[in-house]
């Protein structure tokens, strides 16, 4: 107890969506290199060879079996057509495509979320950061979209509730994009409180139309700076989190709200991620025995992503 876990797996490098795509394997290389060169990696309990694949029973806590069948049919078609020179990718939306390694990576990413949740809930770890891809928070119950195929956060939240005897899980999402998939799956579930910030109006153009009572959405105009975002979090998130008293906090840790990230237009920096993570830790320490599972979502400027993950993980690990 007291250690911070770090979960990653080589299968996450097997998913790619074509040359020049921002959601690329090099994102994980940048994170690994930064944690190594700064010495942060030495303070983490690494898990990279003991991560199982999520089972269908675990996945269908958040997605329908038909959703998995559709993804598997696309993957099988790619494999079957390969000997005849078939395509390397199958599109699921204009920006998202599946390759032959995608489902392996996605099931392993969901498996990492579950394994980290088990270790944190079981007391083997105080908290954990999962450097996973593909990301998950846009994946809806019935639809892959926005670079996402399986909703790692929703799968982990439902697993914790069903398998670990707790009744309140908070989901915190600070990605620049609204976590529409997580909301689609968890809206109306009184066991879950989801709090999120996101640039608005912006992809996926959701999160403002009468959200369910357990959804605390904070839309933020483009070019908003970090101090203003902090004020919004303090005023809107914190009272709801305090009243909810979560027994576990799961984080959709997207770092594309960084001012150097070209896929968004918000103005956060590493100090803002330190502050946000510290506030999350205060809630977890007060109500959840410090239990946090953080899962990588967005972040596409490689240098800014690596620095931001370092800042986030330093707070988790008390460095």
Point out the residues that are catalytic: 138
- In whole angstroms, what is the distance from residue 212 CA to residue 209 CA? 9
- In whole angstroms, what is the distance from residue 298 CA to residue 22 CA? 10
- In whole angstroms, what is the distance from residue 198 CA to residue 210 CA? 16
**Cβ–Cβ under 8 Å, residues 317 and 43:** yes
The SS3 call for residue 225 is: strand
**Cβ–Cβ under 8 Å, residues 168 and 247:** yes
- In whole angstroms, what is the distance from residue 192 CA to residue 162 CA? 12
Longest dimension (CA), the chain: 59
Q: What is the DSSP letter of 237?
A: I
10 Å CB burial of residue 113 (0-12, 13-18, 19+) is buried
Give, for 128, the enclosing helix (H) or strand (E). Answer: strand 127-130
Q: Bridge-partner residues for 210, per DSSP?
A: none
**What are the tokens at 9?**
């797996």
- In whole angstroms, what is the distance from residue 171 CA to residue 187 CA? 11
The helices-and-strands tally (H runs, E runs) of the chain is 10, 10
The SS3 call for residue 168 is: coil
Q: Which residue in 209, 239, 207 sits closest to 220, CA to CA? A: 207
């Amino acid at each position: 107890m007291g250690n911070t876990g770090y979960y990653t797996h080589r299968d996450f490098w097997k998913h790619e969506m074509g040359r020049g795509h921002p959601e690329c394997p090099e994102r994980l290389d940048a994170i690994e290199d930064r944690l190594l060169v700064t010495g942060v990696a030495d303070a983490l309990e690494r898990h990279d060879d003991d991560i199982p694949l999520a089972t269908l029973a675990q996945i269908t806590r958040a997605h329908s079996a038909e959703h998995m069948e559709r993804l598997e049919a696309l993957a099988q078609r790619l494999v079957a057509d390969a000997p005849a020179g078939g395509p390397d990718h199958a599109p699921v939306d204009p920006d998202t495509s599946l390759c032959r390694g995608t489902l392996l990576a996605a099931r392993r990413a969901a498996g990492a979320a579950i394994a980290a949740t088990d270790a944190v809930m079981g007391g083997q770890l105080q908290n954990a950061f999962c450097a996973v891809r593909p990301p998950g928070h846009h994946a809806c119950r019935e639809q892959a979209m926005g670079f996402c195929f399986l909703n790692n956060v929703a799968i982990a939240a439902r697993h914790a509730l069903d398998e670990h005897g707790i009744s309140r899980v908070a989901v915190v999402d600070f990605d620049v994009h609204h976590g529409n998939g997580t909301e689609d799956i968890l809206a109306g579930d009184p066991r879950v409180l989801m709090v999120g910030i996101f640039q608005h109006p912006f992809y996926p153009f959701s999160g403002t139309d009468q959200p369910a009572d357990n959804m605390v959405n904070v839309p933020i105009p483009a070019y908003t700076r970090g101090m203003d975002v902090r004020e919004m979090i303090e005023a809107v998130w914190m009272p709801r989190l305090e009243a909810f008293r979560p027994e576990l906090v799961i984080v959709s840790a997207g770092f594309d709200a960084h001012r150097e990230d070209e896929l968004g237009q918000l103005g956060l920096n590493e100090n803002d991620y330190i502050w946000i993570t510290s506030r999350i830790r205060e809630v977890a320490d007060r109500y959840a025995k410090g239990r946090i599972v953080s899962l990588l979502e967005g972040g596409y400027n490689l240098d800014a992503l690596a620095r931001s993950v370092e800042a986030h993980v330093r707070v988790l690990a008390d460095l």
